[in-house]
A and B are shown apart, each in its own frame.
Chain A
């Protein structure tokens, strides 16, 4: 019991700290891609105190609740949005034995909880009583549920290969051969996983729900101060959580020579995060009909065919068991 309380407290702090600095990493990375310097002034060298400064600034900003807003829904939305984003880390093993709870149904728990974020998002968009926010929330639900199925199906391919829903067992099954290197199946599944990740995280080129040029800031347009900070934190946490899942499913989690396990794991998660950021700053936004067409007409049939091909291979006795 005491161990659980302590572990939960440490995990929460570590995740929030990592995610806070992830915003810094993204800003620096984006700046470099655009031949800028990025945050530089606050804290030498290279403005490393910038995320802390941002947090303090948002903490002491005035909180404006629109007079027409649905107050209970509006106020509750940031908390409902944050809860699933942070809760998905409960089942992630950072290294052998280093994790809060290595559930037997780890990946099922992860997928089930992570898709709950849409509730908080829609509450925020609806409660604001703002046309931009509501349009954005509608688009968000539409897009996220469209990419939910391909996302789940691609996440099932490593499960098939490893024959377990437990995340640590899936990692152990990749000893010697990470699933991303698994002939044909691994590469196709990884590409589909990245596409579904970008879409379900609403990153460019799938960012119609917060398209700055048409919807201002999307569903969070009416939020300010600490509520805005919680929403931003939740978004980045969710992105980082899905990066962690990708590292566990395809890149062999903590496996790797030399460095300690958790360092390998964080490096791999950072790699996926930067991959998504790289796409974000390289492509233009696509239209809503293109987004839905890609999901329902291309990605869904393609991932299902890939799943059945993997299933056939496993039923014949293929795959890697730990």
Chain B
């Protein structure tokens, strides 16, 4: 576990680095703000309304398909590690699993989820 302690210390250093550099910048930089400067950038025009608007449902569909295959990736890691010892039996098991996923992929393809609209 001592290796993970080193990783943890490293992570603490990274956060310290980010916070300290932001802090130093806060001490050194000028602050001369006025209303026009604090406006959101919209190519010089007055911003119309908020940016937080509805967005296309297509993003959700991509995320759903991604979840499916990301879970597959989790199963692939231990499989890749022990495949050599387990031999062809493990290979065919994963092939069957992938075949079932392939059906799902084909369904998504036919439903047009993989097309960006």
Contacts and interface: CB of A to CB of B under 8 A. Distances in A.
Contacts of A59: 21, 24-25, 28-29
Of A12, A90, A292, chain B has the most CB atoms within 10 Å of the CB of: A90
B107 interface: no
B6 A4 contact: yes
B29 A67 contact: no
A116 to B, nearest CB: 12
Contacts of B80: 156, 159-160, 311
Contact of B9 (A8, A141, A148, A304): A8
A103 B3 contact: yes
B26 interface: yes
Interface stretch (A35-43, A79-87, A197-205): A79-87
B91 A312 contact: yes
Contacts of B86: 315
Contacts of B109: 297
Contacts, number: 210
Main secondary structure on chain A at its contact with chain B?
helix
Interface in A229-258: 229-230
A216 B41 contact: yes
Contacts of A296: 65, 114
B105 A12 contact: no
B9 A130 contact: no
B10 A164 contact: no
Given A66-B38, A101-B7, A230-B18, A145 B87 contact: no
Main secondary structure on chain B at its contact with chain A?
helix
B98 A308 contact: yes
A44 interface: no
A106 B35 CA distance: 49
B39 A314 contact: no
Given A9-B13, A163-B81, A222-B41, A62 B18 contact: no
Interface residues of A, number: 85
A62 B50 contact: no
A145 to B, nearest CB: 4
A225 B25 contact: yes
Interface in B68-88: 69-70, 72-73, 76-77, 79-81, 83-84, 86-88
Contact of A148 (B41, B50, B51, B70): B70
Contacts of B52: 126, 129, 134
B77 A108 contact: yes
A134 B9 contact: no
A49 interface: no
Contacts of B13: 8-9, 12
Contact of A156 (B32, B43, B76): B76
Nearest to A288: B116
B9 to A, nearest CB: 5
Contact of A100 (B7, B42, B50, B69): B7
Of A7, A108, A230, A315, chain B has the most CB atoms within 10 Å of the CB of: A315
A129 B81 contact: no
Interface of A: 1, 4-5, 7-9, 11-12, 16, 58-69, 78-79, 82-83, 86-87, 90-91, 100-103, 108-109, 126, 128-134, 138, 141-142, 145-146, 148-149, 152-153, 156, 159-160, 163-165, 216, 221-222, 225-227, 229-230, 288-289, 292-293, 296-297, 300-301, 304, 307-308, 311-312, 314-317, 319, 321
Interface of B: 2-7, 9-11, 13-15, 17-19, 21-22, 24-26, 28-33, 35, 37-43, 47, 50-53, 55, 59, 62-63, 65-66, 69-70, 72-73, 76-77, 79-81, 83-84, 86-88, 90-91, 94-95, 98, 105, 109, 114-116
6 interchain residue pairs of minimum CB distance: A226-B25, A289-B116, A101-B3, A8-B10, A4-B6, A67-B38
12 contacts: A11-B10, A59-B21, A87-B7, A130-B40, A131-B42, A131-B53, A141-B63, A142-B59, A145-B63, A148-B70, A289-B115, A296-B65
